[in-house]
Amino acid sequence: MVSAPPSSVGLLKNRNKAVAKSFYRQLKHEGFSHEQIIELSATLLSLVNEEMREKSAA
């Protein structure tokens, strides 16, 4: 994530929480179970970690 001035940190956290909450509601609306949402979250984290490793290796 791009570093932000301290005054923007709160705004970024609020934005991230709002996006996550919206995404969560959409998944629940689509019928995802809690277990499926956790699995999806783990997959997203894995993809981010993989990309970060690839960039640091380059």
The pLDDT value given to residue 9:
87
In tens, the pLDDT along 27-42 reads 999 999 999 999 999 9
Domain extents for the chain? 7-57
Task: Using alpha carbons only, give the angle 4, 46, 54 rounded to the nearest 5 degrees.
Answer: 75
User: Higher confidence at residue 28 or residue 10?
Assistant: 28
Share of the chain above pLDDT 70, in %: 88
